[in-house]
Amino acid sequence: MSEPDARSRVRVAALAVLVVGAGLAVHLRLPDSAVSDIAGDALYAMVAFLAVVFIAPRVRPWIAGAIALGWCMAVELFQLTGVPLQVGGLITPAVLVLGTVFDARDLLVYVVTVALMTGADAAARGIRS
């Protein structure tokens, strides 16, 4: 069984690079606001989904979505411990992966974004269920 064209690793990697670039632009160029926070969270969830698909290109869209959402939720809940904030103070780039402080709104952004990514992936692959 060959992997669908829409999920080729080259395409997924290229899209992930674009999403990471957009995320860095949001993080570095836009003022800190609710809009930039939501955009950053959505891009983070997108790249989490793309990472799953890159690693396992044959995985069903809903499984990729569940794994990506689980990752995003785990990272957000990990922020409740204060460890990501401390690590980010020592290793600045860690903030891009671990975030800093918990925000319940982020959880909703992750759910919506991963649902949209899952639906788009299923549609691109012609999957109805």
The domain tally of the chain equals 1
Q: What is the dihedral of CA 62, 63, 67, 72, to 10 degrees?
A: 0
Residue 95 lies in a domain: no
Residue 90 lies in a domain: no
Residue 83 lies in a domain: no
Residues 2 and 98: their CA atoms lie apart, in Å, by 35
Residue 119 lies in a domain: yes
Position 92 scores a pLDDT of: 92
Element of type H or E holding 90: helix 83-90
Residue 75 lies in a domain: no
pLDDT in tens, the chain (129 residues): 444 566 799 999 999 999 999 999 999 999 999 999 999 999 999 999 999 999 999 999 999 999 999 999 999 999 999 999 999 999 999 999 999 999 999 999 999 999 999 999 999 988 765
For 4, counting Cβ atoms within 10 Å of its Cβ (0-12 exposed, 13-18 middle, 19+ buried), the class is middle
Query: Could you tell me the residue range of the domain that residue 49 belongs to?
Result: 5-68+106-125
Position 126 scores a pLDDT of: 83
Identify whether the C-beta of residue 105 lies closer than 8 Å to the C-beta of residue 75: no
